[in-house]
Amino acid sequence: MRLLVELVGLAVLVQLLVSSPVPVASQPGSWKVLQKNAGIASMHSAVTRFDTCVLLDRTNIGPSGIKLPGGRCRNQPKERVSKTDCYAHSVMLNPANGAVRALYIYTDTWCSSGQFMGNGVLVQTGGDFEGNKKIRTLSPCGAGGNCDWVETDRELSKGRWYASNHILPGGVRQIVVGGRNEPTYEFVPKRKAGETVFSLALLRGTCCDNLYPFVFLMPNGDLFVFANQDSVILNIGSGKVVRQLPKCPGNPRNYPSGGSAAMLPLKAPFQSVEILVCGGAATGAAKSGDKAKPASTNCGRINPTAGNARWVMENMPMRRVMGDMVSMPTGEILIINGAANGYQGWGTASNPVLQPVKYDGDANAGKRFQTQKATNIPRMYHSTANMLADGSVLVAGSNTHQFYTYTGPFPTELRVEAFSPDYLSARNNAVRPRITQYPRVMKYQQAYDVTFVVNTRRGVVAVNLLSAPFATHNFLQGQRAIKLTVAVPRQASGGAWAVRTTAPPSANVCPQQYYMMFCLQAGVPGRAVWIKME
């Protein structure tokens, strides 16, 4: 009995060591609550070119924390919870002051997917039950606008629940990949009349860690698609899998195992790409229902364009399932949110991981991870993270229950926070560049001047683009970062500086879309401006 007690005590100690905060001195960054009650828990989120943020939840969840304005109600005869529902399940948030405005959504968006089109319209696809084949759009607006969701008269060919979207070169079409019991993909809108769906063997199976597949557009126009532990390169034009890549070592990564993935920044000569896949539930945890099983610590990194493509493994500082991976203006990746035990689902994870981790892909192995300052708000199942134009990361959501539940362990979370990385600290203000002139529209391979002012001119100047992805279930769909080529800055009139930068070479590298353009000096970004790639 004494031995058993000692073993239990040791297990508890080990668990505490895994998830406990590291000393404060090594925790850069800061946190701020932007809104104490956004009205909804954010299952999906996307930042618009007007610097507003669309938050979206399920509709079949019953009352939320915010009502629709003017006595408006949703009358949905197919709704399985509230056929007459006067509560909002989507809001528009203004991060500048935390103000929220209720949005109207008609069909169920539970575990759906989405992406911005090249014209800035947010397209949202699929969901549960009556929303399973639906296509919805939102033409975004600023904080003072009245834009809202629109249910289109188009539908998906197949119902999509837990699918992933990615914009395609041209900016007028998306590919929608996978979904529960749906090992296929299709295009929105269709490429030609009568087109339906296309099979993808990688996604076969009914449950097993292949939902919300990780999808990335590569510089040659092919797609990298990852599910469970396997990945392929898919040629969109021919519909053929042109390469089967090695199995990623370790644990399964996709829903319900709750790993995440990001593409490292694309940079000249824009011919190769690297994918980073991190964390997730332990092998067999979701299948067996083991809520206490420790999550994974490992990450795999691969260059799928290399002739000898292989996974290179390394460990994060802590275990993490349901972490979100956010591209930063510096080219680093922030891993944020999640838990140290269990897997994705209602009440199936515990031991929240409160500390973000920053990953520097250019650093030497063993020195790539840096632990950041902890929050005091657990962000578990159904939480999101998005980069904002000011360089901070908007963090929202967390609902580990079937309905909105404000008592007990891990209650429904309506607070919205912003995490400010250390580059936003006041000590960097002197070298922080402020863009004063820039191209509102960029065309491929063309050169442009970006003019900025600083208090102190010092260090390397960089100009980087970040897309505005659709965040859901720990995967930021359509996320990409592009490091533009730049010349040596020169002095301009009025004490400003100008740097000549060259637009990306093609739509395969940088699809036609709106992007945040960040100017950095000595690794310190200023506030981004929005540009359109055409």
* CB contact at 8 A, 389 and 514: no
pLDDT of residue 80: 85
HSE, side-chain direction, 13 A CA sphere, residue 322:
34
**DSSP classification of residue 116:** E
Written as one string, the DSSP assignment of 344-376 is: SSTT-EEEE----EEE-TTSPTTSSEEE-PPPS
Condensed to tens digits (0 to 9), the pLDDT of residues 384-412 reads 999 999 999 999 999 999 999 999 999 99
pLDDT of residue 207: 61
Backbone φ, ψ for residue 7 (5° rounding): -65, -40
pLDDT of residue 209: 83
Measured between alpha carbons, how far is 101 from 40 in angstroms, rounded to an integer? 11
Structure tokens at 377: 């708000």
Condensed to tens digits (0 to 9), the pLDDT of residues 134-190 reads 999 999 999 999 999 999 999 999 999 999 999 999 999 999 999 999 999 999 999
Beta strands in 58-141 (DSSP E): 74-75, 84-85, 90-93, 100-103, 113-116, 122-125, 134-138
Measured between alpha carbons, how far is 10 from 34 in angstroms, rounded to an integer? 39
Report the Cα 85 to chain-centroid distance in Å.
29
Residue % of the chain over a pLDDT of 70 = 95
Condensed to tens digits (0 to 9), the pLDDT of residues 69-111 reads 999 999 999 988 899 999 999 999 999 999 999 999 999 999 9
Report the Cα 329 to chain-centroid distance in Å.
14
Q: Which residues contact 133 (CB under 8 A, 6 or more apart)?
A: 126, 155, 156, 157, 158, 159, 160
Quick check: 466 pLDDT over 70? yes
3-class SS shares of the chain: helix, strand, coil, % to 5: 10, 35, 55
Instruction: Name the residue among 415, 416, 432 with its Cα closest to residue 424.
Output: 432
Give 148: exposed, middle or buried? Use CB within 10 Å, 0-12, 13-18, 19+.
Answer: middle
Condensed to tens digits (0 to 9), the pLDDT of residues 336-393 reads 999 999 999 999 999 999 999 999 999 999 999 999 999 999 999 999 999 999 999 9
pLDDT of residue 206: 56
Condensed to tens digits (0 to 9), the pLDDT of residues 219-274 reads 999 999 999 999 999 999 999 999 999 999 999 999 999 999 999 999 999 999 99
pLDDT of residue 321: 98
Condensed to tens digits (0 to 9), the pLDDT of residues 279-309 reads 999 999 999 999 999 999 999 999 999 999 9
Quick check: 532 pLDDT over 50? yes
Condensed to tens digits (0 to 9), the pLDDT of residues 2-30 reads 333 333 333 333 333 334 444 445 699 99
Domains of the chain and any CATH numbers: 23-424 (2.130.10.80), 426-533 (2.60.40.10)
Tell me the pTM.
Answer: 0.94
Q: Which residues contact 427 (CB under 8 A, 6 or more apart)?
A: none
